[in-house]
Amino acid sequence: MTVVDTPPPRLPVRGKPAAAERAWGGVSPMLTRLAAEQATGVLIRERGTLYLAEGRVVHAESPLTPGLDLLLTAHGTLEAEVWRDAVDRADDRHGAARLLLDGGHLTEGALELCHLGALYDAAYFALAPSSTPGRFRYGIAHRLGPVLSVPVAVLERETLRRRELLRRIWPDTAPDSAPLVPTYAIAAPKPTPRQHALLERIDGTRTATDLARELGRQAFHTLVDVRRLAAAGLVAPRNAPGPADGGPAPTFAEQLAYTTDPHITLLKRLRDALEAL
């Protein structure tokens, strides 16, 4: 009897780009589903809101970031009265953006650039891990009207990139939300002009997002500067509350986490740098 040894057919192999695309789980499952539905409306999350039009993100807002109005008016690009008037007159046919452009108050390029900056900035906070589920309201539009839209997958990937960037700069998240105090560091690098403007305002009462709003800067870029200052040993979160504030006495580990002693700060920087490798 003759036996023919025929090898089995090769299994199909997915191309790497296709496999990577299918493996992408997204930051927010609800947002991913809304994108697939090509939904229009507003997604309300714990730290911000995302406005969608046909499954793409067209606006984003967060109480932790300066809005588009502040970014446009803080440095004289647009008068605050002009912005308020456009928003008041906006309707379903003519959003505030169209009124500003038609009135010659802004160029299209300036509006698009500032709008995208505000969108990515607010979306970073809106897409942060949340303890409460999001809610979506169909058919809700933003009064600004259409400017530019961003695919959900692109927005989520940029959010993850920003998280990783902050982690690489300084892995401790405490400086992102706590009131900041200046500290002393041995042989610290000279602050940049942007960082110097922050240091002038750090007094133990302002958080990073407070500073961003006060300076009319995007909040994420302010976090980048704050974490670089923390890595250099020039700022730290304000001391944790003790019994005098009505709270429990901080543990020894908590005291070390919030200390501004320059020698302990240097050791913390070395420890965190080694842990981040």
Tokens 């947002």 belong to: 31
Verify that 190 and 100 share a domain, yes or no: no
Verify that 48 and 82 share a domain, yes or no: yes
Verify that 161 and 221 share a domain, yes or no: no
* Helix residue ranges, H only, the chain: 16-23, 29-37, 68-73, 80-89, 96-102, 108-126, 152-169, 174-177, 193-199, 208-215, 219-231, 252-258, 262-275
176 within some domain: yes
254 within some domain: yes
- Give the domain extent around 264: 170-275
Range with lowest mean pLDDT among 59-73, 116-130, 165-179, 228-242:
228-242
Verify that 161 and 175 share a domain, yes or no: no
Verify that 113 and 189 share a domain, yes or no: no
5 within some domain: no
What predicted TM-score, i.e. pTM, was given to this entire model?
0.78
pLDDT tier at 275 (50, 70, 90 boundaries)? low
Domain boundary at 111, 144, 168, which? 168
15 within some domain: no
How does pLDDT run across 153-164, given as a tens digit for each residue? 999 999 999 999
Question: In the chain, pLDDT over 90 holds for what percent of residues?
Answer: 68
* Domain count for the chain: 2
pLDDT of residue 274: 67
Verify that 145 and 175 share a domain, yes or no: no
Domain boundary at 139, 168, 197, which? 168
Verify that 55 and 162 share a domain, yes or no: yes
How does pLDDT run across 188-224, given as a tens digit for each residue? 889 999 999 999 999 999 999 999 999 999 999 999 9
